[in-house]
Amino acid sequence: MVTSIVLRQYKTITILVVLGLSLLFVTLFSLTVGAVSIPFSDAVVILCKSFGLFNDITIDDTFTVVMTSIRLPRVVMTLLIGAALGISGAALQGLFRNPLVEPSLIGVSGGSAAAVVVLIVFGSAVLPSVALWSYSVMLSLAAFAGGSAITFFVLKLSMDSGRTNMAALILIGVAVNALTGAIIGVAIFYANEQQMSMFLFWTLGDLGGATWDKLRIAAPALILSTVGLCFFAKPLNVLALGEAEAYHMGVHVEQTKRLMIFMAAAAVAVSVSLAGIIGFVGLIVPHLIRTIFYVDNTLVLPASALGGAFLLIIADIIARVVVAPAELPIGVVTALIGSPFFIMLLLKSKRKLQL
């Protein structure tokens, strides 16, 4: 028994190391591609110079500016958002014990989108003289506030005698998503062409607005929520046996559920506030991890974070390369990757129900 546990831990560590090294390689490669192509060796040297190494090596100033001011903050933001979306999906799927659950199901993305479209359409009349950078910050804050408010609203409505009813949570989430969709529809009815274009671009996802200033504000929240969710691996494994069994085994069931939902919602809300709506990452990555490896949340949660970052980096590379020097919206790329997988997952679930 002890030997099998040690072997499982060794296997988990090995898988995570391999995923981490793969992510590191893809990340370094992503720093070299785009409208300005940077040689791989130069990208590595520029990175090392940031840590005070290889200062005697001369690099083209254009490469240095593009790398440090544009590409590096974008890649860092992509990694953080991908990891946050991946582990949020894994946590909620484990909590609901359903591989079809996705963070947007509880209304986070819908609430963020509704807040943003209301600000875009009606905020311009109230705040006509706000500077462009301030307006961008306000959009991010509105997205975070909208997503957080809807999550708390859904949680409050799903409470039953002091306990969170998970079935009710999903149903209320679906209803609230329909409500936010109606709010978006009303706002769009009053929007002009420019406002429509701005909102559409935001809903398709955009990683091009990454800056170090945004990351200084958002990175702590993304890192804390991502790392924090990793600590729920063992409680999730116990909850898989059932809530009653988990309670008798010492798990604070209600506290665990609320904390996990709050952290997942915070991670998604911050991600949406930075880059708009990016779908399917939190859906397909955890399922792939469970299918390729095994169903143990001590692996699934951290591996989903690494896998989410890996998938979003790959999607960002595709977005930058396919129509260069222009860019595809990142949400379009993840949808093209995720939609066929989601259909396949639904068909697989349907076959299981028929059996």
Our CA dihedral for 292, 294, 299, 303, rounded to 10 degrees, sits at 10
The H or E element containing residue 163 is strand 163-164
Q: How many domains does the chain have?
A: 1
Give the CATH number for residue 228.
1.10.3470.10
The pLDDT tens digits along the chain (355 residues) read 557 777 888 899 999 999 999 999 999 999 998 878 888 888 888 888 877 777 777 777 788 888 888 899 999 999 999 999 999 999 988 888 877 777 777 788 888 888 888 888 887 665 555 555 566 677 777 888 888 888 888 878 877 766 767 777 778 888 888 888 898 888 888 888 888 877 877 788 888 878 888 888 889 989 999 999 999 999 998 888 887 788 788 888 888 888 888 888 888 888 888 888 888 898 889 988 988 888 889 999 999 999 999 999 999 999 988 887 778 889 889 988 887 877 777 677 666 555 5
Q: What is the dihedral of CA 277, 280, 282, 285, to 10 degrees?
A: -150
CA separation for the pair 310, 297 (Å, rounded): 19
C-beta of residue 320 within 8 angstroms of C-beta of residue 327: yes
CA angle 246, 249, 254 (to 5 degrees): 45
- Counted residue by residue, the chain has a size of 355
The range of the structural domain enclosing residue 187 comes to 2-354
Q: Tokens at residue 271, please?
A: 């991600």
* CB contact at 8 A, 152 and 262: no
Joined tokens for residue 275: 């880059």
